[in-house]
Structure 1
C-alpha cells in the first residue's frame, strides 16, 4: 500500500468509525451524553466535540497547502476554533450533522491528494500562535492518529455507559 492509498484508507476508517460512534451515542439522552465522566474532555459530548473541532483546525491548516485543495474550500466559511475543549455543539444532533459533513469533506479531500503533495513542508501556526513548519505527510499521519486516539476514548466512555459500538479495528477495512 502506498502513502496515497493509506490516506484513503484512513479517511474511510474515520468515516466508518464515526458513524458507529454516533449511532451508539444517539441512543443516549442529552443528559447522559453531557454527564461528566471524568474524561479529558469531560463527557461523551465533550470528547466528540473535541474531535470535530480538532479536525476543523487541521483541515483549515491543510487548506493552506500550496496545492490549494478545492475540496477544503467550504471550510473558509467556518471560524477556526480557538479552544479545543469548548462545546461548540450543544447536542448530538447538531454535532452529528457537522461530523457527517466533515467526514465527507475528508473523503473528498483525501481523494484529491497527490503523491507529490506529501513531501511538502507545511507552514502553520499552532493553537498558541507559534509558527511551525512540518512534513505534510507526517501531519496527515498525526491527523488520523489523533482521531483514532480520541475515538478510543469515546468508545470507552460509551462502553462505560453500557453501549457496544462493535468492531473498531482497522483490520475490518483491509482486504
Structure 2
C-alpha cells in the first residue's frame, strides 16, 4: 500500500468513525451531550466540536498548498475558528452537518492528491500566529492522528454515557487479500 492509498484509507476510516459517533451521540438527550465529564473539552459535545474546529483549521491551512486543491474550495466560505474550544454550533444536527461536509472534503482531497504533493513543504501560521513550514505528508499524518486521538476520547465518553459505538477498529476497512 503506497502513501496515497494509506491516506485514502485514513479518510474513509475518518468518515466511517465520525458517522458512528454522531449516530450514537444523536441517541443521547441534550443534557447528556453537554454534561461536563472532565474530558479535555469538557463534554462529549465539546469534544466533537473540537474535532470539527481542528479539522477546519487544518483543511484551511492545507488550502495554502502550492497544488491549490479544488476539493478545499468549499472551506473558503467558512470563517476560520478563533479558538480550539470555541463552540461553532449549539446543536448537534448543525455540528453533524458540518462534520459531514468536512468528511466529504477530506475524501475528495485524498482522491485529488498526487504523490509529489506529499513531499512539498506547507507554510502556514499556527493558532498563536507563529509561522511554520513542515512536510505536507507529515502534516496529513498528524491531521488523521489528531482525529483518532479525540475520537477515542469521544468513544469513551459515549460509553460512560451508556451508548455503545460498536466496532471501531481500522482493520474492518482493510480489504482481505486472497491467497495466490
TM > 0.5 fold call? yes
Shift of 1:174: 0.6
- Look up the SS of the partner of 2:38 in the other structure: coil
Please say if 1:135 is aligned against 2:135. yes
Partner of 2:71 in structure 1? 71
1:7-156 alignment runs, 5 A limit: 7-156=7-156
User: 1: distance between equivalents of 2:101 and 2:162?
Assistant: 28
Q: How many residue pairs end up in the alignment?
A: 175
CA offset digits 1:106-141 (Å, max 9, x no partner): 111110010010000100000000001000000000
Partner of 1:3 in structure 2? 3
User: 2: distance between equivalents of 1:93 and 1:30?
Assistant: 11
User: 2: distance between equivalents of 1:53 and 1:34?
Assistant: 17
User: 1: distance between equivalents of 2:111 and 2:63?
Assistant: 14
Give every structure 1 segment of 4 or more consecutive aligned residues whose post-TM-superposition deviation is greater than 2 Å: none
Gaps of 5+ in 2: 176-180
- Look up the SS of the partner of 2:84 in the other structure: coil
User: 1: distance between equivalents of 2:132 and 2:103?
Assistant: 26
Normalised to the residue count of structure 2, the TM-score between the two structures is 0.96
- Look up the SS of the partner of 2:83 in the other structure: coil
User: 1: distance between equivalents of 2:23 and 2:30?
Assistant: 14
- Look up the SS of the partner of 1:122 in the other structure: strand
Normalised to the residue count of structure 1, the TM-score between the two structures is 0.99
Gaps of 5+ in 1: none
Q: What is the alpha-carbon root mean square deviation over aligned residues?
A: 0.5
User: 2: distance between equivalents of 1:75 and 1:10?
Assistant: 20
Shift of 1:86: 1.1
Shift of 1:74: 1.0
